Structure 1
Amino acid sequence: MAEPLLSLSGVTSGYGQIQVLWGMDLAVNAGEVVALVGSNGAGKSTLLRTISGQLAPSAGSIRFDGTEIGGSRPDIILKAGIAHVPEGRRLFRGLTVRDNLLLGAYLRTDKQAIADDLEWVFELFPILRERQRQDATTLSGGEQQMCAVGRGIMSRPRLLMIDELSLGLSPRMVEHLGNALVALNKAGQTILLVEQDVMTAFELSNRAYIVENGRVARTGASAELARDPTVSDAYLSI
């Protein structure tokens, strides 16, 4: 059996003396959409920050495409092929939508491929083409999320990690973004999705991990977890 594209084994991490993750195990296979779900403070965002190099694990292993990356600098991890779309979008004020998108490709030198990927982002999110000369921070919340996801795509990652896709957005905008992720995945993009809206996460993903108090509490096929009464009672009725 092929090794997962991303695999975590016994990963411990946190902020200074505050430990958040306690021996996390996780795997993402190439071509999958895998969701991380759980309540606020469960450790989902900390896990993404640890994978992308913003936090260094204090124990355990993080392997990407067969190579250990745990504790590597964020730029090294980005070069390896992991892009992180952070919670809160974090677009650059004073820069246009187009410039924010192109910042996602700042480590690349393949000009024609960058132009092709920019066109792909505009096809996924047509409103960004219309607003490409506008200051990105003046967009609506949903449009800013499109821009943040598009910026991640522009690095041409092998793994795209998205933190809280739907937070604060209208159901219609969430549906639009979800359709874009489905299109991305059909085009071959592997995605690791953090999502507090458990039903949205299950609908978009192949597999899911339920995280509680910095540990994996449950994992399995998303469709099976959605039908599990204990999962429904704990998460879907909230």
Structure 2
Amino acid sequence: MAEPLLELSGVTSGYGQIQVLWGMDLAVREGEVVALVGSNGAGKSTLLRTISGQLAPREGTIRFNGRDIGGARPDAVLTAGIAHVPEGRRLFRGLTVRDNLLLGAYLRSDKDDIARDLAYVFELFPILAERQRQDATTLSGGEQQMCAVGRGIMSRPKLLMIDELSLGLSPRMVEHLSGALTQLNKGGQTILLVEQDVMTAFELSHRAYIVENGKVARAGASAELMADPTVSEAYLSI
């Protein structure tokens, strides 16, 4: 079997004296959608920050595309092919939708390909094309999330990591964004998704990891986890 695109082994991480991750093991294969689910404070966002270089792992290894990237700077991680769509979108006030999107491609120099990718983002999210001259921070919450995801796409990543896709959004907007991610994945995009709506996470993903107290408590095919009565009782309230 081919080596995973992303593989974490025994990763610990945290903030100052506070340790959040305790020996995390995780793998994402090329072409997959993998979900991280669990309660608030379980360590899911910390895991993404550690992968993307915002935090350095204290122990363990992070391998991406055959290379050790543990402790690499965020720009080096982005150059390697990992884009991180953070919780809260973090768009730049005073910049248009178009300029926020183009910031995702700031490490690229292939102007023709950048233009094609921008056209693809506008095709994926037509409302962004309509509002491309508008200050991105004046969009609705769902539209801002589209812009944040689009900005990640503009780096042309091998792995797109999205932290809390649906947080605070209407069911209709979640459905729209979920459809866009499915379309992206059908086009070959590998995705690592943190999602507080566990049902949405399972429906979107091929495999999932349940994170509790900074450790992997369960892992497996998303369909199997969704059908497991113990998982349903703990996370799906059904």
Name the structure 2 match of 1:170. 170
Alignment partner of 1:77 is 2:64: no
Number of corresponding residues:
238
Letter of the 1:224 counterpart: E
Name the structure 2 match of 1:112. 112
> What do residues 164-189 of structure 1 show as CA deviations (whole Å, max 9, x unaligned)?
00000000000000000000000000
Which secondary structure does the structure 2 equivalent of 1:230 belong to? helix
Letter of the 1:91 counterpart: L
Name the structure 1 match of 2:188. 188
TM-score (norm 1): 1.00
* Unpaired segments ≥5 residues, structure 1: none
The CA distance in 2 between the partners of 1:28 and 1:13, in whole Å, is 19
The CA distance in 1 between the partners of 2:151 and 2:61, in whole Å, is 28
Name the structure 2 match of 1:129. 129
Letter of the 1:149 counterpart: V
Q: For 1:1-238, what aligned pairs fall within 5 Å after superposition?
A: 1-237=1-237
Identity of aligned residues (%): 87
Give 1:48 shift: 0.1
Letter of the 1:201 counterpart: A
The CA distance in 2 between the partners of 1:17 and 1:62, in whole Å, is 22
Letter of the 2:60 counterpart: G
Letter of the 2:14 counterpart: G
Give 1:227 shift: 0.3
The CA distance in 2 between the partners of 1:16 and 1:149, in whole Å, is 30
Give 1:129 shift: 0.1
Give 1:121 shift: 0.2
Which secondary structure does the structure 2 equivalent of 1:27 belong to? strand
RMSD of aligned Cα (Å): 0.6
Give 1:162 shift: 0.1
The CA distance in 1 between the partners of 2:131 and 2:211, in whole Å, is 37
Give 1:32 shift: 0.1
Runs of 4+ in 1 over 2 A off after TM superposition: none
TM-score (norm 2): 1.00
* Unpaired segments ≥5 residues, structure 2: none
The CA distance in 2 between the partners of 1:121 and 1:141, in whole Å, is 17
The CA distance in 2 between the partners of 1:225 and 1:18, in whole Å, is 30
> What do residues 11-31 of structure 1 show as CA deviations (whole Å, max 9, x unaligned)?
000001000000000000000
